[in-house]
Structure 1
Amino acid sequence: MRLKILLAFTAVAGLTACAQAATPAPKTDEEKALYSLGVASGRDLQGFSLTPQELEMVKAGFTDGIRDTGKLKPDEMNAVLPKLQELYKTRMEANAKREKEAGAAYLVKAAAEKGATKTASGLVYRELKAGTGAAPKPEDVVKVHYEGKFPSGKVFDSSVERKEPASFPLNGVIPCWTEGVGLMKVGGKAQLVCPPDLAYGEEGRPPQMPGGATLVFEVELLEIENPQAAAAQAAPAAPAQ
């Protein structure tokens, strides 16, 4: 069963690579559904950081699987599963190291910006717009608009784009948010630059959130809500613990 799952996973990832290289953009709903399946599966392989040559090998395995012309027997493929797991672990660790090094440089730069403050925990906080309301306590439920991005500028989450603010208990999210939003007042807007140990740590949450990643958030504190009222809402979740 384990081998079948792995082969299916690899096959779909190979299909994604082929689709990106050789096929036009999907048009029909069926094509879009199949393409989305491939993209989702391909993203799960991002941690391998495949070279072009390795990607070709994955594509070859996919093709052989479809044609039932595999060059390895099932027991041979089972035998190399530990190697695949070792490869994944090694590359994820290398990726996390690179992310952490790049993030450390970004944190230094962010802390040097006018108006920025680096707290004892390592959070870099910069007020973008002063609030005039109350400041939330950790046990409060807050409503915010936010945009999260990597130091590269790539956006990974945005309630602004969804056009729907998020509500959550302040002590139920990543430490960076608990501390950073706690420094704000209602009506205010701030930038939070979060080192990995205040976000998702060395492991991250692949594939969307790589290990060791420094995260940059722009947060607007809209209001402090009644906890019971907030619990009844179905707003998108903010960065969870």
Structure 2
Amino acid sequence: MISCSRQTLFSLMLPLMAASGALYADDGVPVLLQFAEQYHQQGAQKIPVNKPQSAQTPVQKPTDKVSQVREPTANQQQLLAVRKALREKEAQLERQQAAIQSLQQQLTAMRVASTLTVPNTASSQQDFTALSEFARNVRQAFNLTPTERQAQTLIVDAHKTVSELEVKLTQLQDKNRKQVKQLEDNGLQLAVALEENAKSAQQFEQVSKRASQAEQERVAGNQVEKSLRKEIDGLRSRASLLPDKLALMKPREQQSYAAGVALGRDIQTLLRERKSFGIDPDKTALLAGVIDTFNGHYQLSEELLANSLAASEKAVNTARDKAAKDQQAKGESFVSEFRKKKGTKKSPAGFWYRVDYLGDEAIAETSLVDIVVKEMLTDGQVIQDMDRSGKVLSQPLSVYPPLFREAIGYLRNHGSLTMVVPPELAYGEAGYAPQIPPNATMVYELRVVDADKG
């Protein structure tokens, strides 16, 4: 079983060692637009895999990990400073509260004194008024006798005293009002201070949470660092199998290295495909298996290797079948909604389309046609967007694949349409790893940039 799988793998990979880059789709142009006819003639299993990304995955530098470890120390210092400031704020608040209590006691005492003074003064004023009336009556009765004159003098003095008391009462009331206003202002200032202290407490709580999160990140960073160190140690132990740059000077070594790169890229494509199914293999263990194969020393027995490979293939097949069913359901739902839109029609080939703009001049069969295409999945995920990437496909109308040649036939020069293509007319049950899942319904927005008269 293992030998059969190896033969299948190398039968797919070895042609890549001598093949040129023409097997891959041009960057920015949908694969289905370039060699759809070859795709259907050769079958889904023999289609060249999509050209993987040439850029290598950047390796995170160890210095980033060091900075993550040092960062919590600065946070702890900031936390201590905030705690110290909070304690000072709390002490200041207690002093302000004591001052307010003292002022409130003084205000209460002054209000009591004010209520006691006013009635007494008023009663005194009323008594002197009655006395004045009595004196006036006596004066009228005895016609200003010496005693009456003396009483009159006493009344005048009493009026003067009352006036002085009224002035003092007014001054006392003004003073009380000022003190009450001052106490109210102090109370407002204290309320503002209390609000600021509450905000400081909230900030302290937030800083505490951030410090806790930073501590958790530090612990996680240490774990990641340990894992990376372990991975680096494992790779260093196998580094004897890897040549340095100076050893790749001869054509034989360069060709062998290029074949290894092609194989590595295909492995990366395979991993991305499995990841799209929800299966994420361990890259370190996978690389160890490749190196151990060339080294001739396996860490697992042949029986365990066979069982593990069978389990892996079963999991991948199950995930692929589920993905295919999900894509079929999404495609059917999308087509059902697309058919309801005004102007939607079904082509003789079997795809649905809607002309967004018919265009102006007719396109002759011998015309050289320039088009741009936007390729998407039914969920809106963009696979290729020639307009955005600045790509234009220019070739005679007769050279285009039948699917797109028929679509261009519904347009005039500068026209555009949207077409929904079922899986059997697109990438089929196999899909096109890793971007296009199996059994995917494809959506294309096609626009004629220009067409000469032929």
TM-score by length of 2: 0.37
| C-alpha distance in 1 between matches for 2:430 and 2:277 | 22
| Superposed displacement of residue 50, structure 1 | 7.3
- Does residue 386 of structure 2 align to residue 159 of structure 1? yes
CA gap of 1:143–1:201, structure 2 versus 1, over 3 A, is: same
- Report the counterpart of residue 58 of structure 1 in structure 2: 282
Give the structure with the larger helix fraction. 2
Are 2:449 and 1:222 aligned?
A: yes
2:329 counterpart residue number: 101
- In the TM superposition, 1:14-93 aligns within 5 A as 41-49=267-275, 55=280, 58-59=282-283, 61-62=285-286, 71-73=299-301, 76-78=304-306, 80-93=308-321
Distance 2:320 2:430 in 1: 8
Contact (CA 8 Å) 1:195, 1:214: kept in 2 or not? yes
Report the Cα offset of residue 66 of structure 1.
9.7
- Structure number having the greater strand percentage: 1
Structure number with greater Rg is 2
User: Against the structure 1 CA distance between its residues 87 and 178, is the aligned structure 2 distance closer, same or farther, given a 3 Å change threshold?
Assistant: farther
Determine the C-alpha separation between the residues in 1 that align with 2:301 and 2:57. 24
1:238 aligns with none
Cα 1:136/1:214, change in 2 over 3 Å: farther
**Residue 147 in 1 paired to residue 374 in 2?**
yes
Match of 1:212, SS state, is: coil
Counterpart of 1:123 (choices 351, 356, 359) is: 351
Instruction: Determine the C-alpha separation between the residues in 2 that align with 1:209 and 1:136.
Output: 34
Equivalent residue, structure 2, for 1:233:
none
Change (3 A) 1:64 1:204: closer
Determine the structure 2 residue equivalent to 1:203. 430
Higher mean displacement: 169-178 or 203-212: 169-178
1:214 is displaced (CA, Å) by 0.9
Mapped partners of 1:226, 1:86: distance in 2: 55
- The residue correspondences of 1:5-16 to structure 2 (distance < 5 A) are none
Contact 1:151–1:215 (Cα < 8 Å) also in 2: yes
Paired with 1:23 and 1:159, the residues of 2 have a C-alpha distance of 39
Q: Secondary structure at the match of 1:102?
A: helix
- Tell me the distance in 2 between the aligned counterparts of 1:172 and 1:93: 35
Sequence identity (%)? 24
Cα distance in 1 for residues equivalent to 2:359 and 2:332 = 29
**Aligned alpha-carbon RMSD (Å):** 4.1
Shift of 1:173: 5.1
**How far apart are residue 133 of structure 1 and its match?**
1.6
Contact 1:176 1:192 in 2 (8 A): no
Residues 373 and 385 in structure 2, CA contact (< 8 A), matched pair in contact too: yes
> Which segment drifts farther, 38-47 or 154-163?
38-47
For structure 1, list consecutive stretches of 5 or more residues without a partner in the other structure: 7-15, 25-36, 228-241
Superimposed CA distance per residue, residues 85-128 of structure 1 (whole angstroms, 9 cap, x where no aligned partner): 44434432332222122111101111111222223443121111
Q: Shift in Å at residue 179 of structure 1?
A: 2.2
Contact 2:422–2:440 (Cα < 8 Å) also in 1? yes
Measured at CA, do residues 39 and 18 of structure 1 come closer, stay the same or move farther in structure 2, by a change above 3 Å?
A: farther
Number of the residue aligned with 1:188: 415
Distance 2:327 2:319 in 1: 12
Counterparts of 1:153 and 1:23, CA distance in 2? 39
**Displacement of 1:61:** 2.1
Q: Work out whether residues 277 and 319 of structure 2, in 8 Å CA contact, stay in contact via their aligned partners in 1.
A: no
Task: Assess, with a 3 A threshold, how the Cα gap between structure 1 residues 117 and 88 changes in structure 2: closer, same or farther.
Answer: same
Letter of the 1:205 partner, please give it.
Answer: Y
CA–CA distance in 2 between the matches of 1:111 and 1:186? 25
Match of 2:340, as an amino acid?
A: A
Paired residues, number: 201
Q: Distance in 2 between matches of 1:172 and 1:77?
A: 49
Q: 1:132 — aligned with what? A: 360
Q: Partners in 2 of 1:41 and 1:67 — Cα distance?
A: 14
Distance 1:197-1:66 versus aligned 2 partners, 3 A rule: closer
Instruction: Report the Cα offset of residue 178 of structure 1.
Output: 2.8
